[in-house]
Structure 1
């Protein structure tokens, strides 16, 4: 199975760090955020990695190169203008092939074991869900019922999408090049019962602000 790391975000809420450094190359615990993903994916047996980029993307390519130092092969999908999650993945499909592939947001930190996703996909997507974090306490994106995901509903035990998923290229059938979101495609597939999910209990932080970057640093320091 191939894997894709989404690394095209501009990281505006993490300025001034991201004025001259792309968010995936911001450091925490002495390592760049994206390096934690590359090491975890390699450990789980993923060897072919696709990385999309837009803002300061040449720095990502220059720093990571072809991926040999991480034990993987990296291909890049540069975006002149950010294509959002759906459009970015759609553009990268020729690099990802015809089989289901793993996708992970470049701006999260987690101790999730990616080997758990090396199994046949049931339907068109499988999403890893987490408890609603402090910055998203009562929202929730979707809810799980017998391992099948449904759109969030009032009164349901709604969970937050972790940014980790396995997607089938068929999910993008009928899409056209350009910027578009992933969520509408997922919701359309959910309405047909084609999206499964799991509730992750491990550690996970959406590193979208300087405060949450500090949380990662604290966790990693405590781990050492």
Structure 2
């Protein structure tokens, strides 16, 4: 299995910290956020990593090199001055994420601006669905959550009605952690699903991943798990500082 780390965001909410440093390279606990991911991927036996870049793209190879000192090999994709969003970024990286046939090769994707103690080795290498998502308890900044996790492991895009909850399912509403295992065939019908959304007709295309996930949920092809351990979405300087303190830096 290979891994993709999303690192192309502009980090506008983190300014001025991101004026000269991309958000995934900001340090917590004595090392950049993205290095925590690289070390955890290596510990999980994942050696091939793709990092997508845009803002201050050159800083990544300057700081991370080819990844060998972290126990991985890094390939970089550059999306241009405007990031391609999560869907476009993943689509752009697909040629580097497979081996012989990318349509059959599952891969792990992680947001570069989160921190977690999740054990990546516990994620399914061969998910039974088009996507397997890690969900967490809703933080204060996303109190309503993103998706509903059913007791059978299915993930739904909306809160199920009472008469749709069967066999002890709870329909628990949780937040997407920015960690998932995907099959590239999630993109098989992406042009129809995305339609004429802004950026979809550009070359390379720019679009969000969420519509593809919701379409897959509609055909019961997204599973998930509830991670009850530590997780932080480092979306503001305050959250970055709080995480840094909690890690004892």
TM-score range, shorter chain: over 0.9
In structure 1, the residue matched to 2:135 is 129
In structure 2, the residue matched to 1:76 is 76
Matches within 5 A, 1:170-181: 170-175=185-190, 177-181=204-208
| Shift, 1:119, TM fit | 3.0
In structure 2, the residue matched to 1:115 is 121
**Equivalents in 2 of 1:184, 1:198: separation in Å?**
20
**Equivalents in 2 of 1:89, 1:151: separation in Å?**
20
Matches within 5 A, 1:7-46: 7-46=7-46
The residue matched to 1:135 in structure 2 has which SS?
helix
- Root-mean-square deviation (CA, aligned residues, Å) is 1.3
**Equivalents in 1 of 2:125, 2:47: separation in Å?**
16
In structure 2, the residue matched to 1:3 is 3
The residue matched to 2:232 in structure 1 has which SS?
strand
Contact between 2:148 and 2:155, CA under 8 Å: does it hold in 1?
A: yes
| Structure 2: unaligned runs, 5 residues or longer | 162-170, 192-203
Match of residue 147, structure 2, among 131, 139, 142: 142
1:89 aligns with 2:90: yes
**Equivalents in 2 of 1:203, 1:215: separation in Å?**
13
Contact between 2:190 and 2:212, CA under 8 Å: does it hold in 1?
A: no
Contact between 2:106 and 2:125, CA under 8 Å: does it hold in 1?
A: no
**Equivalents in 1 of 2:242, 2:148: separation in Å?**
27
Task: Summarize deviations over 1:39-77 as a string: whole Å, max 9, x none.
Answer: 011001100000001000110121111110001000011
Matches within 5 A, 1:94-109: 94-97=95-98, 98=102, 99-109=105-115
User: Mean alpha-carbon deviation: is it higher for 56-65 or for 106-115?
Assistant: 56-65
**Equivalents in 2 of 1:201, 1:118: separation in Å?**
17
Contact between 2:86 and 2:208, CA under 8 Å: does it hold in 1?
A: yes
**Equivalents in 2 of 1:133, 1:2: separation in Å?**
29
Contact between 1:4 and 1:104, CA under 8 Å: does it hold in 2?
A: yes
Contact between 1:140 and 1:152, CA under 8 Å: does it hold in 2?
A: no
Q: Against the structure 1 CA distance between its residues 79 and 193, is the aligned structure 2 distance closer, same or farther, given a 3 Å change threshold?
A: same
Matches within 5 A, 1:207-218: 207-218=234-245
Matches within 5 A, 1:194-205: 194-205=221-232
Aligned residue pairs, count: 221
| Shift, 1:157, TM fit | 2.3
Task: Summarize deviations over 1:122-149 as a string: whole Å, max 9, x none.
Answer: 1100000000001111x21111111000
The residue matched to 2:126 in structure 1 has which SS?
coil
| Shift, 1:118, TM fit | 4.3
In structure 2, the residue matched to 1:162 is 177
TM-score normalised per structure 2? 0.86
| Shift, 1:154, TM fit | 6.9
